[in-house]
A and B are shown apart, each in its own frame.
Chain A
Amino acid sequence: MNIRKLAWKNLLRRKTRAVFTGLGIFLGIGTFVALASLTAQMEGAVRDKLDKFGANILVTPRAEQLSLGFGDISLGGAQVAHAKLTMEDRKAIESIALKDRLRIVAPYLLAAADASGKDFVWMGVSAADIGQARPWWKISGSTIREREEVILGSEAAAALDKGPGGTVTSGNRKFRVAGVLAPTGEKEDAMVIADIRDVQALGKNPKGVTFFEVAALCKDCPVEDIVAQIGGALPGAKVSAIRQVVESRKAAVDQFRKLGLGVSAIVLAIAGLMVFVTVMGSVQERTREIGVLRAVGFRRRAILSLLFWESGWVSLVSSVSGAAVGLIAAMLASPLFGIERGGIAPSPALIGVAIGMTLGLLGAIPPARKAAALSPTEAIRSL
């Protein structure tokens, strides 16, 4: 018989109270682990999804704005580019040190050309990149898969009165309408979208590129470093992070984290309070027993030790079981939160057990101190 065993035996005797004490920690740690695990998985999922959701770096030719005018007459302005971008620049971008973080480098060329006798802006894109570069596009029909196919923006389709399967001519070239873009609210609604090589041919601008969109994988988002490296690789280009996109990604992930932490903090505070209340109740219920222990020579420290062992046993069992249930709950619930590949994240469980133990022991401090401070006479007044 030692204090550890004495504590364990007392818990077995008072199973209901022990279960009630542990229930708070069990629920608190279970909730914490489930939320922390879900949050961690959601962070990854949100990052993945946001990373897939378009570009976060724009590469354009460095240009100067010139204002044109004579006397009081303003003739507007004109941009003068110092250098043009070409398809060769894609290789330069893809060769930067942080190239592993580049998910996609998509070249675009904008050119004015006629389509079935009307003037339109043609947007040239790499047919292979459309799915990744514009994942939100909803196309009636199909996307372009080869040259001499086009997608019509919704307004362009209406103006040309063409739909999937139709034909659009430009000069002496004929293009099959592969699909029609659902309205996006953007300028592409009024554009004709074709393979970039076709647009380069129509615009008589072989290998020409108007701008590149770069989608960088944004985990730990070193977007400034990527921007600097692309700028170094393309001295004649202006490289800018689409700050709003980067910040919104961070903000979305931070919101998830804060929500998880907030809910966990509330549940854990309640759990701590439950430990405090139940252990305090246990001390009052066992005043006589504590008096007997003091009478047979238990020092204050031994009484403290006894109550801490009791709380420690309860905390350990309830924390471990709560963490296990929390992990299982997170795994089961992950599909509901849009997490495609739910997995076990051990760190929230380990942190949860540590928090549960700390909580149990902290919650036991005031009642244990009260028990240890009981005068033996007060404790055994009923003897």
Chain B
Amino acid sequence: MDPFIHLENVSMIYGNNGTSAAALDGVSLSIDAGEYVVITGESGAGKSTLLTILGGLQVPSSGAVSMRGVDLSMLSADGLADFRRETIGFIFQAYHLLPYLSARENVMVPMSPLRMSGRAKADRADALLSSVGLPGKEDRLPSELSGGECQRVAIARALVHDPPVLLADEPTGNLDSTTGEQILDLFSGLHKSGKTVLMVTHNRANLFRASRAIRLRDGRVAEDDPFLAPYQAL
């Protein structure tokens, strides 16, 4: 059986004015459905680049990426957009909510191009906001919410199309430890509900919730431990 996500010898080289630097250098990985993978590494190790390639936001310089049996390199820009909408939920460190929209409207944004009634979209958004612990705050603007609440809105937005994969880039990076724990609880719940979670993080405390840890160093996979023994022993 094919792996759910597969990277084969993926390299990403950024070049400018004759200089070039490899953000990823021959990375090969296979991730099964339902895994909770934490990607760690120093700054510049290639974590975020790996995440954007996995999310179809970026095409690698070389190598192949497939997800659910689909070769992402074969998809057009719009094909990749459709694929992201149906398959992937993105969660960013800085939330990236639209500041002029309420929490409900932010969750509804990915549904904007869809032909659905406004009522159905609002009901779906309200249900998701309730599931991430924000009932009663649907009409608040991001400026009226705490950091943790903003991240919950961002998670609800990522879940709006019920994607099987969640890609999170430092989702607790801007939060205090207590709030960060609450957000990680949410991710654990989503993982238990069957989602495949890939999370880039600096925080080793996040590792204890994951089923697998991948450490990148200089664009290469330095460690890939499906049992997290080194970390759990810490």
Interface residues of A, Cβ cutoff 8 Å to B: 1-3, 5-6, 9-10, 12-13, 288-289, 292-302, 305, 375-377, 380, 383
Closest 10 CB pairs of A and B: A297-B85, A13-B100, A1-B108, A296-B110, A377-B58, A376-B57, A302-B113, A299-B78, A299-B81, A292-B96
Contact across chains for A383 and B100 when beta carbons are under 8 A apart: no
Specify the chain A residue showing the minimal Cβ separation from B169.
A383
* A3 in contact with B112 given A292-B96, A299-B82, A383-B92 (CB within 8 Å): yes
Which residues in B have their C-beta under 8 angstroms from that of A288? Answer: 96
Specify the chain A residue showing the minimal Cβ separation from B94.
A383
A23 to chain B, nearest CB (A): 21
Contact across chains for B96 and A6 when beta carbons are under 8 A apart: no
Interface status of B202 (Cβ within 8 A of chain A): no
Which residues in B have their C-beta under 8 angstroms from that of A6? Answer: 101, 109, 112
What is the CA–CA distance of A213 and B66 in the complex, to the nearest angstrom? 92
B122 to chain A, nearest CB (A): 8
Which residues in B have their C-beta under 8 angstroms from that of A1? Answer: 101, 105, 108-109, 111-112, 118, 121-122
Which residues in A have their C-beta under 8 angstroms from that of B109? Answer: 1, 6, 293, 296
Of the candidates A12, A298, A305, A380, the one whose C-beta lies within 8 Å of that of B57 is A380
**Count, A-B residue pairs, CB within 8 A:** 83
Of the candidates B94, B100, B122, B169, the one whose C-beta lies within 8 Å of that of A9 is B100
Interface string of B120-135 (1 = CB under 8 A from A): 0110000000000000
A selection of 28 A-B contacts at a CB cut-off of 8 Å is A1-B111, A1-B121, A1-B122, A2-B113, A6-B109, A9-B101, A10-B98, A10-B100, A292-B96, A294-B57, A294-B81, A295-B57, A296-B84, A296-B157, A297-B81, A297-B84, A297-B85, A297-B110, A299-B81, A299-B82, A300-B77, A300-B78, A300-B81, A375-B77, A376-B52, A377-B52, A377-B58, A383-B93
- Is the contact region of chain A dominated by helix, strand, or loop, or is it mixed? helix
What is the CA–CA distance of A289 and B108 in the complex, to the nearest angstrom? 15
Interface residues of B, Cβ cutoff 8 Å to A: 52, 55, 57-58, 77-78, 81-82, 84-86, 90, 92-94, 96, 98-101, 105, 108-113, 118, 121-122, 157-158, 161, 169
Specify the chain B residue showing the minimal Cβ separation from A7.
B112
Q: Name the residue in A301, A302, A383 with the highest tally of chain B Cβ atoms < 10 Å from its Cβ.
A: A383
Which residues in A have their C-beta under 8 angstroms from that of B85? Answer: 296-297
What is the CA–CA distance of A1 and B111 in the complex, to the nearest angstrom? 8
* A301 in contact with B78 given A9-B105, A10-B100 (CB within 8 Å): yes
Specify the chain A residue showing the minimal Cβ separation from B160.
A296
Contact across chains for A383 and B105 when beta carbons are under 8 A apart: no
Specify the chain A residue showing the minimal Cβ separation from B96.
A292
What is the CA–CA distance of A260 and B169 in the complex, to the nearest angstrom? 59
Specify the chain A residue showing the minimal Cβ separation from B110.
A296
Contact across chains for A298 and B81 when beta carbons are under 8 A apart: yes
Specify the chain B residue showing the minimal Cβ separation from A10.
B100
Which residues in A have their C-beta under 8 angstroms from that of B57? Answer: 294-295, 376-377, 380
Contact across chains for B90 and A289 when beta carbons are under 8 A apart: no
Which residues in A have their C-beta under 8 angstroms from that of B96? Answer: 288, 292, 383
* A302 in contact with B105 given A294-B81, A295-B84, A377-B52 (CB within 8 Å): no
A309 to chain B, nearest CB (A): 11
Which residues in A have their C-beta under 8 angstroms from that of B90? Answer: 295-296
What is the CA–CA distance of A297 and B85 in the complex, to the nearest angstrom? 4
What is the CA–CA distance of A383 and B81 in the complex, to the nearest angstrom? 18
Which residues in A have their C-beta under 8 angstroms from that of B122? Answer: 1
Which residues in A have their C-beta under 8 angstroms from that of B58? Answer: 375-377
What is the CA–CA distance of A1 and B112 in the complex, to the nearest angstrom? 6
Contact across chains for A289 and B55 when beta carbons are under 8 A apart: no
Which residues in A have their C-beta under 8 angstroms from that of B98? Answer: 10, 289, 292
Contact across chains for A295 and B55 when beta carbons are under 8 A apart: yes
What is the CA–CA distance of A335 and B82 in the complex, to the nearest angstrom? 61
What is the CA–CA distance of A302 and B58 in the complex, to the nearest angstrom? 19
Specify the chain B residue showing the minimal Cβ separation from A9.
B100
What is the CA–CA distance of A45 and B118 in the complex, to the nearest angstrom? 54
Specify the chain B residue showing the minimal Cβ separation from A376.
B57
What is the CA–CA distance of A305 and B114 in the complex, to the nearest angstrom? 13
Which residues in A have their C-beta under 8 angstroms from that of B111? Answer: 1
Contact across chains for B121 and A297 when beta carbons are under 8 A apart: no
What is the CA–CA distance of A295 and B56 in the complex, to the nearest angstrom? 9
Q: Name the residue in B82, B109, B113, B158 with the highest tally of chain A Cβ atoms < 10 Å from its Cβ.
A: B113
Which residues in B have their C-beta under 8 angstroms from that of A301? Answer: 78
